[in-house]
Chain A
Amino acid sequence: MLGNIMAGLGALMNFNTLLFLFIGTLVGLIIGALPGLTGNMAIALMVPVTFTMDPVTALAFLTSIYCSSIFGGSISAILLGIPGTISSFATTLDGYPMAKKGQAGTALGVSTLSSVFGGLFSAVVLMCLTVVLAEFALTFGPAEYFAVAVLGLSCIASIGGKSLTKGLLSGFIGLFFACVGMDPQTGVKRYTFGSVNLLGGITMVAALIGLFGVISVLKSAEKGSSGKDTEAMPEVDNVWIGWKMCKKLLPTWLRGSIIGTIVGIIPGAGTNVATFLAYDVEKKISKDPDSFGQGDPKGVAAPESANNGVTGGSMVPLLALGVPGNATSALFLGALMLQGLSVGPVLFTDHADIAYAIFLAFFIANLLMWPLGLFLLRYMKTILSVPESLLGGIILAFCVTGVYSISSNPFDVAVVIFFGLLGYVFYKFDIPTAPLIVCLVLGSMAESNLRQALVASKGSLNFMWTRPITLVVLLISVVSFFVPIISKAMKAARKRRSPDVVTAGDIAESSTEEMDDD
């Protein structure tokens, strides 16, 4: 193995390849940070370009875009409260409140180090365990995917804010929107109103940007008309978080990275599930769960280490079996084939140097992200000193352009506006939007796989208890759903007995969605 690593290193160490690694990291960072534009899109556009490069340079270039675009998404999530990609949605929950408190620098620093940690962790797993773990990926059938989707959905109970009713309401509305489009098993058109634009369901990125982007504009407009002065954000602090903080966050990073890497290995489970789970786990085991949603650095560290953990994980089944773990690794498959390389065990026997060069490219890309991220962020964070009333317009312009560029379909812009208004209604009635997003993202995955599992089991529900992985994951989901509800009820009961004691929960009363600092 050491020989292979040296061979891979040899293949990487030339000026051209390193230059492309650097460019890729920079491009990915910027694309990821722009709301609407995803690393996936950047990679897809670059695949035909890489045809003329040598295989190692081509793959190193794509790898670096992949890693840094996932990280880049957290920048807009923290600074503007708009996730640059869906996978950084969970980062907004605590990253944006941190920025509001004047800790934007710290939040960005945490997200940089968490991403680097998660990325490096998954790169180690990729390098050492690829062949061992690959078979694990194939044990997942529809029943198991269904269970994973339910586990992801179960976290709405804990991110649903103070009112359970409102949290569930928001979740069910999300599930309803997830139904729109063609029925995955019978092709029946549901709630499409004869429009071909809705056949494929609601464009997720457009809905997400509507819920986050438009609403920030409406909020600042509201403040402007109420006669109050729109204030710029408080001074932002340093992006270097110090060793003490690093030590404190280390367990969070480890948990996040492990969750991310495992979810990444399961083909088709997706980056989003990993971030929801990591955030949820961190909140549940925290001694002070109420600080989550108010700007807890751990709430940034968990999802950011998880989503970069997915990057390496998703390459495990691809390289070992030729099975792409997610949309991005499917693009890598295309790029590899275009180079005339076949993936699977043959890659390791015939082209070990290339396989290990890819592993090492993951390392270097993640390491490059560190200085590059910290350097760029020192300047990027100053965007917060722009007065909110001016920033709103710029944000809106970005959101609309970004969404339109996904598939150059004006209908997507209408989706942004619709969800923007819906988000505003939610805000007015103090209903959290987080459960809606989780359900919108995971609803169709849960439905499609449940239906497939039922076909495979000839209509019987027994797959829920006869398949060990499914059973365990479903049981964890039940626990994960009810624990926050029960603990909340117990806290309320205790409060009734001793009304004088003010708990931390009361001080931090506002829901996850209410991030206003006035």
Chain B
Amino acid sequence: MKQFKRLLAVLLAVSMIFALAACNSGKDDDQSKTPDSSQDGTSGDKNNDSQAPAWPDGKTVTIVVPFKVGGNVDLCCRIIADELGKVLDTNVVVENKEGGGAIIGQTYALSQAPDGYTILAQTSSFVTNILSGDTEFGMEDSIAIGQYCFDPEIVVVSADSGITTIEQFMEKAKSETLTNSTPGFSTSHHIASLILADAHGLNFDYLHTDGSAEQTVQLAGGHAQCGLTTYGGAATLIEQGKIVPLAICAAERSATLPDVPTMAESGYDFVYGAWRGFGVPAGTPDEVVQILSDALKTVMETDSVVKAFEDSGFPVAYLSAADFQQMMNDDYENMSKVYHLLEQ
């Protein structure tokens, strides 16, 4: 009996190890809806008959997300990975390497072989991290593939603040100090507030919370008066009237908030938002970049992807490799002018 129990226990332990292994590989399997998703490359010869280019040749493509599982960027990448796998006829997996303000994941992705099999999920923090001086990589160490999303900042106030228009807001922030809730120090929402305040002489005291959920709760509860945020996180509280959107920091009005004016309409020239795209390590062959860039374009035009993005509140905005690279370079220029604001 005792022998049997021991055997059972060892079996249990072994099965737990398998369960663990299954959890990890499950990550991969979830992404692969294509029938020939074997990772050992045996499916390669199948592709030789077709006219498809050699790359990616059935080999797994990894998207490195430098953020937590379940965050906005992660969610976007997982929606895209599924479809990208179908377009490229291979396995596309998402790997999360969070921490260090995204530096850990960014460094990891850019130090991989420049063969296109490792893609970095690039966000605004890529540029700000380089400016912070904490990174070993620079702007020249990545090549853009394309942008898929641009999420403009929205100036919002708590319903309790009594402010209803952007003019009122600017007036009040000039004459007194408003408490400004952010999702954390040096996040894009914080930087946007700093730039706005610097340009127009506004006075803010910052409440740096931990994440956009906490930021919006503080606004909804009236514990902070104003803030800059993106639509997705604040949508339900805006619908309930607990948070009031005043203006959107984009070139055009948003389809989801048609009544909210742009900053430019109100006479303030300010376009700012969180951009999201992909890049590969410098040295990746041009034709591979082209294949990836074209595939991303196809993905972002797929109905199911567009719907998933819309429903999640992420505005789709595709930019080609060249345009995205230009945009990042511009962003770097603009940010280097205002970066000193963070260091005060």
Chain A residues near B (Cβ < 8 Å): 30-31, 33-34, 37, 40-45, 47-49, 51, 137-142, 182-187, 196-200, 203, 267-268, 317, 321-324, 327, 330-331, 333-334, 337-340, 342-346, 379-380, 382-386, 394, 397-398, 401-402, 405, 407-409, 411, 448, 452, 455-456, 458
Q: Contacting chain A: which of B195-203, B219-227, B323-331?
A: B219-227
Verify B185–A342 contact, CB threshold 8 A.
no
Q: Least Cβ distance of B291 to chain A in Å?
A: 24
Distance to closest chain B CB from A147 (angstroms):
14
Please provide the chain B residues from 82 to 98 with a CB less than 8 Å away from any CB of chain A in the complex: 82, 95-98
A386 touches B13 (CB 8 A): yes
Chain B residues with CB under 8 A of A42: 23
Indicate if the CB atoms of B70 and A44 lie closer than 8 Å: yes
Task: Tell me the complex Cα distance, A383–B6, Å.
Answer: 8
Q: A456 to B223, Cβ gap below 8 A?
A: yes
In the complex, are the beta carbons of B235 and A405 less than 8 A apart?
Answer: no
Residues of A within 8 A of B218 (CB): 141-142
Query: With A330-B213, A394-B13 as given contacts, are A321 and B239 in contact (CB-CB < 8 Å)?
Result: no
Residue of B12, B107, B179, B235 touching A383 (CB-CB under 8 A): B12
Assess whether B27 is interfacial by the CB under 8 Å rule: yes
Q: A144 to nearest B CB, angstroms?
A: 9
Q: Could you tell me if B220 and A323 are in contact, using CB atoms closer than 8 angstroms?
A: yes
Return 25 A-B CB contacts under 8 Å, by A number: A34-B16, A138-B220, A142-B223, A185-B206, A187-B186, A187-B342, A196-B107, A197-B99, A267-B217, A317-B217, A323-B213, A323-B217, A330-B213, A337-B313, A340-B307, A342-B239, A344-B239, A385-B5, A397-B17, A398-B16, A411-B99, A452-B207, A452-B208, A456-B179, A456-B223
Q: Are A383 and B9 in contact (CB under 8 A)?
A: yes
Whose C-beta in chain A lies nearest to the C-beta of B312?
A337
Instruction: Report the separation of the CA atoms of residues A397 and B239 in the bound assembly, to the nearest whole angstrom.
Output: 49
Known A48-B79, A330-B211, A407-B68; 15 more pairs at CB < 8 Å: A33-B16, A40-B70, A44-B70, A141-B223, A186-B185, A200-B100, A323-B216, A337-B312, A339-B311, A344-B239, A398-B16, A405-B24, A409-B97, A455-B207, A456-B179
Contacts of B135 on A, CB cut-off 8 Å?
A: 196
**Chain A: minimal CB distance from B240 (Å):** 5
| Min distance, Cβ A216 to any Cβ of chain B, angstroms | 15
Residues of B within 8 A of A458 (CB): 205
B13 to A: closest C-beta gap in Å: 5
CA distance A405 to B96 in the complex (A): 9
Q: What is the minimal beta-carbon distance from B125 to any residue of chain A, in angstroms?
A: 12
Measured between beta carbons, the chain A residues less than 8 angstroms from B206 are 185, 455
Q: Is B54 an interface residue (CB 8 A)?
A: no
B103 neighbours in A (Cβ, 8 Å): 196, 199
Query: Is B10's CB under 8 angstroms from A386's CB?
Result: yes
A37–B74 touching, CB < 8 Å: no
- Chain A residue contacts of B283, Cβ below 8 A: none
Give the distance in Å from the alpha carbon of A404 to the alpha carbon of B107 in the complex. 18
Bound together, the chains give a CA A43 to CA B98 distance in angstroms of 17
Set of chain B residues within 8 Å of A343, measured between Cβ atoms: 236
**In the complex the two chains form, is B185's CB within 8 Å of A345's CB?**
no
Dominant secondary structure at the A interface? helix
A268 touches B20 (CB 8 A): no
Q: How far is the CB of A333 from chain B (nearest CB, A)?
A: 8
The reply to whether B69 and A45 contact each other, CB–CB distance below 8 Å, is yes
When A51-B308, A185-B208 are in contact, do A34 and B19 touch as well, CB less than 8 Å?
yes
Task: Please indicate the chain A residues that have their CB under 8 angstroms from the CB of B2 in the complex.
Answer: 385
Q: A455-B179, A455-B205 are in contact. Are A338 and B9 (CB under 8 A)?
A: no
Report the separation of the CA atoms of residues A37 and B242 in the bound assembly, to the nearest whole angstrom: 37
In the complex, which residues of chain A have a beta carbon less than 8 angstroms from the beta carbon of B240?
A: 321-322, 344-345
Q: Which of A49, A200, A456 contacts B207 (CB 8 A)?
A: A456
Contact: A268 with B217, CB < 8 Å?
A: yes
Q: State A45–B22 Cα separation when bound (angstroms).
A: 13
Q: Are A196 and B185 in contact (CB under 8 A)?
A: no
Give A330 to B72 CA distance when docked, in angstroms: 11
Q: Once bound together, how far apart are the Cα atoms of A324 and B235, in whole Å?
A: 13
Q: For A402, list chain B residues within 8 Å (CB).
A: 20
**CA of A345 to CA of B239, assembled, Å:** 9
Q: What separation, in Å, do the CA atoms of A493 and B232 have in the docked complex? A: 61
Is the pair A334, B104 in contact by a Cβ cutoff of 8 Å? no
Contact across chains for B239 and A401 when beta carbons are under 8 A apart = no
A139-B24 Cα distance, complex, nearest whole Å: 41
Complex contact B20–A48 (CB within 8 A): no
The residue of chain B having its C-beta at the shortest distance from the C-beta of A456 within the complex is B179
CB-based closest 3 A-B pairs: A322-B236, A44-B70, A141-B223
CB neighbours of B220 from chain A (8 A): 138, 321, 323
Residue of B nearest to A323 (CB): B217
- Which residues, 109 to 130 on B, are CB-close (under 8 Å) to A? none
Instruction: Evaluate contact between A322 and B237: CB separation under 8 angstroms.
Output: yes
Q: Collect the chain A residues with CB atoms within 8 Å of residue B185's CB.
A: 182-187
